[in-house]
Each structure stands twice: as C-alpha cells, then as structure tokens.
Amino acid sequence: MTRVFSGIKPTGHLTLGNYLGALRRWVEVDQHRSEALFCIVDLHALTVDHDPARVRRLTRQAATLLLAAGLDPERCTVFVQSHVDEHTRLSYLLECVATDGEMRRMIQYKEKAAREQRRGGSVRLSLLTYPVLMAADILAYGADEVPVGDDQAQHVELTRDLAVRFNQRYGHTFVVPKATRPKVAARVMNLQEPTSKMGKSDDSGPGIVYLLDEPETVRKKIMRAVTDSGRDVVYDREERPGVANLLEILAACRGGDPEDLCGAYASYGALKKDTAEAVIEVLRPVQARHRELCADPAYVDAVLRAGAERARKMARPTVDAAYRAIGLLPAL
Ligand code: AQP
C-alpha cells in the first residue's frame, strides 16, 4: 500500500491556503487510499522568532483542526513531530549528506531570512537547516508520496536528492518519495497582495482567510480583495492575479475549472460575493466540529498519544538502519 506523509507547521492560525492546498485532500483522498501519516511539525515552528506559549497553543489548535476537518484516527496517524525523537536523530545524519550550497538555494530560506532581517531579527541556523529536518520527517517513514502545495515542492525535491545520495553512498536505506499536488488551489494567494502566497505567518491580516474566521470576517476580507482596474472577469494569472485567485478559490470550493467559471460573471462584485459564500460553506462544518472537539481535549490528547506511539514504531527501524549504514556503532 502506498505510504503518504505530510505535515503542517504551527507558526500561525491555519489558513484557507493550508486547507485547499493540503488538508482537504488529506481528508478526502489520502487517508482513504493509502497508509497515511499527518504530522504537526512543531520543531519547524522554532526556526523563526517565536513565543513558546503560542507555539504550544497553535500545536494543539492545529491538531484539533486536522481532526475537525475530517482526519479519522482510525484511518490515519495524526501526531506531533517533537513527540517522536526519530525525526531529529535522522536529521543529523542527513545534514552529513546535504551541502551548505544546497541549503542556501532554497527559495523559502531566502524569503524567510529576508523577512526576519526586515523585522530586525537575526536568522536562526535552524531556518537554514529546516529542509533537512523536513527530509528526515519524510524519509523516516519510507513515504512514497508527499502531498504538498506548490511552495513545498522544492523541499520535496531536496528530500529526493538526499535519499538518492545517501542510498548511493551507504547502501539502499530510504524510499525515494515524490511530491503530489492538488489540481486547483496548489497556491492560494494573499487577497491583498495576489502575487504573494497566502501564508499563515504573514503580517497582512486582511489578505488572509483563517479557518476559524467568522462568516462576517470572511465576507469582509473577500469583498475587499484587491483585483485590478479591468471590469470583465477573465482568468489570467499573470495579468489579473487578483481575479484569477478568486476564480481558483471559488473553483476549489465548488468544484470545476477556474476558466469555465468566468462566463458566469459580469462583474467583480458578483464573483466576490459567490466566492465569499462558497468559502463560508466550506468552513462551516469544520468550525462546528472544531467547537465540539475543543470541549473534549482528552480525546485530542488520546489521539496524539496513540499517533506518536504508532509513528515511533514505524520510524525506528529505518532510522536505526540509517545509523548502521552510515558507520555508527550500535549502542552496546
Ligand atoms: N497559500 C497556500 N496555497 C496552497 N497550499 C498552501 N500550503 C500552505 N500555504 C498554502 C500548504 O499547506 C501545507 C502546510 O504548510 P506548512 O504549515 O508546512 O507551511 P508553509 O508551506 O510554509 O505554509 P504557510 O501557511 O505559508 O506557513 P508560514 O507562513 O509559516 O510559512 C503544505 O503542504 C503547504 O504546501
């Protein structure tokens, strides 16, 4: 059976981008057709300036939202990265096959390092090495597929390179995984800056729809989305990024093709109105289930405890094999 691994970083409240680009497919497709692991990758949240209490709170919130969105712990493994030591054990070995140049070429590193500097902070070494930890997350489980949005494709490419290099140098140890991407909404853009991705740790609040936004807030954010000075509704990502983003969001929520939707709209106002209502409808059941789960924290704890136990058992043989293959004397 195909094994799938994917993760989500508790660096902010989950967004519509996280949902349409990743989470929804985990729920609707991946957990049904594969042996799937979904991880709240909390160690990755420490790579930028962070508040410890907030990371802890967001980790729990992300876990609750994953379950609220429909991940079923009977069908898949849901767990927290820092609860399974195998990730950091393997990460160090992979740092010994990765190169400094490779890390510095990562687009997310360049963007996030520049943002930290703009905010007056320093760039943590872990921000540079974080793609290696992500590779360890994936390789520890022998995952065949990694469902991700566009922004993570380069990191999965790096994971493949590291797996191939390790296998060539030290003998076959890792499955070489591949990224899988959604057909629509692989890159949901910020409503206020439609040439930038909608990212959960961005500063631009009005441009980001959060999964827990009230319907009225969703409506306001979408009705105020930046479009352009044209009037006709056409799908053109280069020339009309704002309108294209709305069409993609609407297509992802209602099904269908963004290009086919254009004909149904004579004005931006009508498109925005329908998009807002479609998003509200998609979020409604997730929010309702989230409220129920918040009233039952012991259930969420139990899911995470069982998930970590199962994940540990799955990862340990591969990580132990990597330790042996690279030349480390097994513990006596
Ligand atoms: N805007 C997006 N459109 C489509 N997919 C997206 N994803 C994230 N943003 C979008 C996908 O969501 C999954 C989890 O992402 P992540 O938590 O690992 O972090 P990220 O990719 O760095 O996402 P964010 O929300 O932008 O976080 P910050 O702001 O902290 O960097 C991934 O599959 C991702 O592709």
Give pLDDT tens digits for 257-290: 999 998 889 899 999 999 999 999 999 999 999 9
Is 10 marked as binding a ligand?
yes
Classify strands 3-8 and 178-180 as parallel, antiparallel or unpaired. unpaired
CB 267 within 8 A of CB 231: yes
- Number of other residues whose CB lies within 10 A of the CB of residue 315: 23
| Domains of the chain: residue spans and CATH | 3-181+297-326 (3.40.50.620), 205-291 (1.10.240.10)
Q: Answer yes or no: is pLDDT of 53 > 80.
A: yes
220 in catalytic set:
no
Mean pLDDT of the chain: 95
212-262 pLDDT, tens digit each = 999 999 999 999 999 987 778 889 888 899 999 999 999 999 988 999 998
Q: Answer yes or no: is pLDDT of 126 > 90.
A: yes
292-301 pLDDT, tens digit each = 999 999 999 9
Q: What interface predicted TM-score (ipTM) does this complex get?
A: 0.96
Structure tokens at 309: 């136990």
Q: What is the pTM of this model?
A: 0.94
> For residue 255, is it left (φ>0), alpha (ψ between -120 and 50) or beta?
left
Q: Answer yes or no: is pLDDT of 204 > 80.
A: no
Atom of ligand 1 nearest to the CA of 14: 25
With the most atoms of ligand 1 within 8 angstroms of its CB, the residue from 18, 193, 204, 210 to mutate is 18
Q: Answer yes or no: is pLDDT of 161 > 90.
A: yes
Interval between CA 327 and ligand 1 midpoint (Å): 36
